[in-house]
């Protein structure tokens, strides 16, 4: 018997496009490179980037692991997907950006 998750996964939002824009490897090579690094089909990663559907746990885990390797930083799945406005950290803070958007520089210096 299938039991639905109590929270509606359709309400999830993705900031993966912002994260990819901060990582030179993915900014240049895009979704194909991320798919290869995460050992996932390109179509699966494309849906995740576009916020289409409900990704599986393993999909999010593989993408998160690929981002950790690419940035050499701890990236949390909630840095990628969460309810709108409830991301764990901004994309800048997740990848250690020193200020491409307002307040990112102060957040980075506070260690958030």
Instruction: Note the pLDDT of residue 103.
Output: 47
The alpha carbon of residue 87 and the mean position of all alpha carbons in its chain are separated, in whole angstroms, by: 10
* pTM, full prediction: 0.78
pLDDT of 13-37, one tens digit each? 889 999 999 998 998 888 999 999 9
Residue 49 has pLDDT above 50, yes or no: yes
pLDDT of 57-71, one tens digit each? 999 999 999 999 999
96 vs 103, higher pLDDT: 96
Q: Across the chain, what does the average pLDDT equal?
A: 82
Instruction: Note the pLDDT of residue 101.
Output: 55
For residue 109 the two structure tokens come to 């210096």
Phi-psi region of 103 (alpha: psi -120 to 50; beta: other; left: phi over 0): left
Residue 6 has pLDDT above 50, yes or no: no
């Amino acid at each position: 018997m299938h039991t639905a998750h109590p929270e509606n996964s359709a309400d999830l939002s993705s900031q993966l496009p912002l994260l990819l824009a901060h990582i030179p490897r993915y900014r240049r090579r895009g979704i194909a490179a991320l798919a290869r690094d995460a050992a996932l089909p390109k179509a699966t990663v494309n849906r995740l980037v576009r916020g289409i559907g409900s990704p599986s746990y393993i999909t999010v885990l593989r993408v998160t692991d690929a981002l950790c390797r690419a940035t050499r930083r701890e990236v949390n799945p909630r840095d990628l997907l969460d309810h709108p406005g409830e991301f764990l950290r901004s994309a800048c803070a997740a990848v250690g950006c020193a200020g491409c958007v307002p307040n990112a520089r102060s957040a980075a210096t506070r260690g958030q």
